Structure 1
């Protein structure tokens, strides 16, 4: 029977630590924090959508898909109009920036409305109960 330090440490590690449970209620969401958070998330999504739009445009140009669509369009209209005049890089980039700015505005407003609605509902319902445990 050996009582070494290693044996004592091994026996201690086999014992389960008691888990502590904490019950919390979320009864308020700070309005300005929710607005700032939704603004930052909206800005990130706007940047991602602008970059994705530019990448898709360049892939369509490099693979020749846009040129084939333009040729089909010119055949249908009798060669009178060209899609490449309408769908140039400047127009696509400008449109994606405008959509990105609108998404930022709408996302921020939706975040503010969600925070207000949650705070109103919490007054009636009493909050959202969360349970946490520690390992």
Structure 2
């Protein structure tokens, strides 16, 4: 009875008819990189908003915010934490952070594409190998 390792060893020793191609990546399309980084920024923005919502709900469910509110009220009776940290304010903060992250990720994607296109002139590009099975 042969194992998977034996089958792989037998397969690797046999000659395959696959063609191998080695290509150089010498140009990254600027607008494609911007669009891709924008989509990555949108995904990050969604994750940011949802995670902030979940963290707030967990803090509410564990009554940690209420206990912290009682502690701060003992020091200063005029300060009420629940007035400062409420769900609409947390979600507004999360939306602002998400929009800023979206802009930063999109700009960084554009900058990285530009820097790569400039560095290709010095290094000659990235060598990539492809094979067809």
TM bracket (short chain): 0.7 to 0.9
In structure 1, the gaps of 5 or more residues are 1-14
Q: How far does residue 19 in structure 1 lie from its aligned partner after superposition?
A: 3.4
* Mapping 1:34-113, distance limit 5 Å: 34-77=33-76, 79-113=77-111
Give yes or no for the alignment of 1:128 onto 2:126: yes
Distance in 1 between residues matched to 2:130 and 2:104, nearest whole Å: 34
- What secondary structure is seen at the aligned counterpart in 2 of 1:19? coil
Partners of 1:66 and 1:103 lie apart in 2 by 27
Alpha-carbon distance in structure 1 between the residues aligned to 2:81 and 2:32: 45
TM (normalized to structure 2)?
Answer: 0.85
Q: TM-score, normalised by structure 1?
A: 0.84
- Output the CA distance in 2 between the equivalents of 1:112 and 1:82: 44
Which whole-Å deviations, capped at 9, do the CAs of 1:3-26 have from their partners, x for residues lacking one? Answer: xxxxxxxxxxxx653332210100
The count of aligned residue pairs is: 120
Q: Which consecutive unaligned segments of at least 5 residues does structure 2 have?
A: 1-13
Aligned-partner Cα distance in 1 for 2:117–2:50: 36
